[in-house]
A and B are shown apart, each in its own frame.
Chain A
Amino acid sequence: DQQVKQNSPSLSVQEGRISILNCDYTNSMFDYFLWYKKYPAEGPTFLISISSIKDKNEDGRFTVFLNKSAKHLSLHIVPSQPGDSAVYFCAASRDNNNDMRFGAGTRLTVKP
């Protein structure tokens, strides 16, 4: 059961422009959402997160937006840099954090 979905397998953006990665979820029990970035031959690394009590969280160039009614979240990267090129995974968990569910990932390519 795919409870977390990333419908765009890839995204290509020009350096300096905004990258928007999208994620949808189906389980209304999820109350914490995370974005992970993964480079080849490495494990996922935590990027940014948001609790369901918020609708926006910002950290430098990265902002995550949460729309609970639509069960949708997005990650905005602005300005995009070539070093941002990686696979981005959306993940969701419940308060007990026992079982984090991941989307299939979106491969972001930022072109110089």
Chain B
Amino acid sequence: DTGVSQDPRHKITKRGQNVTFRCDPISEHNRLYWYRQTLGQGPEFLTYFQNEAQLEKSRLLSDRFSAERPKGSFSTLEIQRTEQGDSAMYLCASSSLAGPLYHEQFFGPGTRLTVL
């Protein structure tokens, strides 16, 4: 396992279109997180899963955003009716509930979304 992977790496879309991103976490990690990062800012928490259960959502996650992790493995983040303000880097991270590294989240390379 080479780490957290995300697909696609870049997405350009027109305002009003729907987009879906995929994240594959490190295989034995129970927790999966989604973050958004805009220019000049650190990552902002959006939501997280423990196995297949979505346990917390930030108020940043509007009704147009939905995330799933159906089998407790990979996750998808969908944005409906995209707006120009959705343009950002979307980062996925995973972590293990057990062991000495349980506080550390391991990040993927991100998906850069540009909404025209």
Residues on A lying within 8 angstroms of B by beta carbon are: 4, 6, 9, 32, 34, 36, 41-46, 49, 89, 91, 93, 97-105
Answer yes or no: B56 CB below 8 A from chain A CBs: yes
- Which of these, B58, B102, B107, contacts A43 with CB under 8 Å? B107
- Residue on A with the closest CB to B33? A100
Residues on B lying within 8 angstroms of A by beta carbon are: 4, 31, 33, 40-45, 48, 55-56, 58, 91, 93, 95, 102-110
Q: Is the CB of A49 within 8 A of B42?
A: no
Q: How far is the CB of A29 from chain B (nearest CB, A)?
A: 15
Q: Which residues of chain B are near A99, meaning CB under 8 Å?
A: 45, 48, 56, 58
Q: How far is the CB of B18 from chain A (nearest CB, A)?
A: 24
* 12 sample A-B contacts, Cβ–Cβ < 8 Å, listed by A number: A9-B40, A34-B103, A41-B109, A45-B107, A46-B104, A97-B95, A97-B103, A99-B48, A101-B45, A102-B42, A102-B44, A105-B41
Q: Which residues of chain B are near A45, meaning CB under 8 Å?
A: 107
